[in-house]
Amino acid sequence: MKVVMIGSGYVGLVSGACFADFGHEVVCVDKDLSKIDALKSNVMPIYEPGLESLVRGNAQRGVLSFTTDLAEAVSGADAVFIAVGTPSRRGDGHADLSYVYAAAEEIARAVDDRTVIVTKSTVPVGTGDEVERICREAAPGKTLAVVSNPEFLREGAAIDDFKRPDRIVVGSEEEWARDVMREVYRPLYLNESPILFTSRRSSELIKYAANAFLATKITFINEIADLCEKVGGNVQDVARGIGLDQRIGPKFLNAGPGYGGSCFPKDTLALMKTAQDHESPVRIVEAVVNANDLRKRAMGRKVIAALGGEARGKRVALLGLTFKPNTDDMRDAPSIAVVQALLDAGAEVAAYDPEGMAEAARLLPDVRMAAGPYEAAAGAHALVMMTEWDAFRALDLGRMADVMAGDALVDLRNVYNPEDVARAGLSYTSVGR
């Protein structure tokens, strides 16, 4: 089948490369000429493990190509996926759907009759109805089906998530469109990945509900971690104790500095706004958003407390800047709030991240970017474990103690064993222990 991806960002590029790997003919479209030129030269706009080789291999096989010409790309397409950004709209927090609507109109004018237009971008409930209206007005003589097909990709594990999904959600009431989507996902269906067909509105809501629930689990265990610190419990034991309950499960129960990234912050906010507009507020999600925002800044105060309550004139080193390992994504990363709290308190901040420093340097111009973890720690009064990259899991703590000016290790990801840290001569602060 011929599949077209409109938008060559995180979702569009990963999805397009994986569809091509299944044997479909895939064209990725983007208005950014520099991005398309880079992709043609196998230069990735994002860091995602395995993506570069996947793109290169399928481009060499001739099943994956890149262009800025949407009209040419969609000619003869069986399915055209909209995978453009839906950032939080400035001012009110609603998802900005302007890119989705503009793409829908352009697609409708250019595609052949009986083409399936698939919304892959994360969009609020009812967006598909508006996309359908736009398509009817733009191309009144064509039979077009608008389908919802949300993505459930974790940054850092996106390729595996796409090829081995827990489920594939397709929202459409039109049987011929469902048949097209069955064929698009046939390689996964043959591997027994379940396809859940729903109404379009249910499909749109599934994505938001899933992310809101996961954000709730993260925020819940973070609050339990705070309680553990007050009463003498160990949050890792508590998380394991409740996670072994099959009704709860162990995932997303790692206490830390709060969630960030491209999905949870904007999706929880968009769900809140949608619920408020429909006079059906989601109070739990509202509490989650508020608690998570407060937590990020509180982690800055935790570092300051480890410095003895005074940060002015002291140097703090951060290991990790991205919101999670195996990505270069800095969007809503907890490190941003922690750094700002430290700078506001008069501290000097140095940092190292394996992949995120280029973007971090733009967002955090007052932070000195170091060449490695020990270079970041040199002369520091406190060392903060911010992101749990594998490269930080087996550091030479004795060497760290030697290069530091102080002795505070603030482990916001509970990577290290307190006894090991103590043997290295460092003072240890962790989360919920």
What span, in angstroms and rounded, lies between the C-alpha atoms of 355 and 390?
Answer: 12
Rounded to whole angstroms, what are the CA distances from 52 to 58, 59, 64? 10, 11, 13
- Six token digits for residue 316: 């703090």
The residue whose two tokens read 């009209």 is: 71
| Cα 121 to Cα 189: distance, rounded to the nearest angstrom | 22
**3-class SS string, 183-197:** HHCHHHHHCCCCEEE
**Largest Cα–Cα separation, the chain:** 75
* Active-site residue list: 263
Element spanning 142, H or E: none
Q: What percentage of the chain's residues is helix, strand, coil (to nearest 5)?
A: 45, 15, 40
Q: Write the CA distances from 200 to 126, 132, 161, 177, integer angstroms.
A: 8, 11, 22, 12
If we measure between CA atoms, which residue out of 340, 180, 148, 91 comes closest to residue 351?
340
What is the chain's length? 433
Reported as type and span, the H/E element at residue 342 is helix 334-344
Residue 363 tokens, joined: 């967002």
Helix (H, G, I), strand (E, B) or coil at 122: coil
Q: How far apart are CA 145 and CA 178, in angstroms?
A: 10
User: What residues pair up with 82 in beta bridges, in sequence order?
Assistant: 6, 119
In 3D space, the residue among 409, 381, 414, 387 whose CA is nearest the CA of residue 396 turns out to be 409
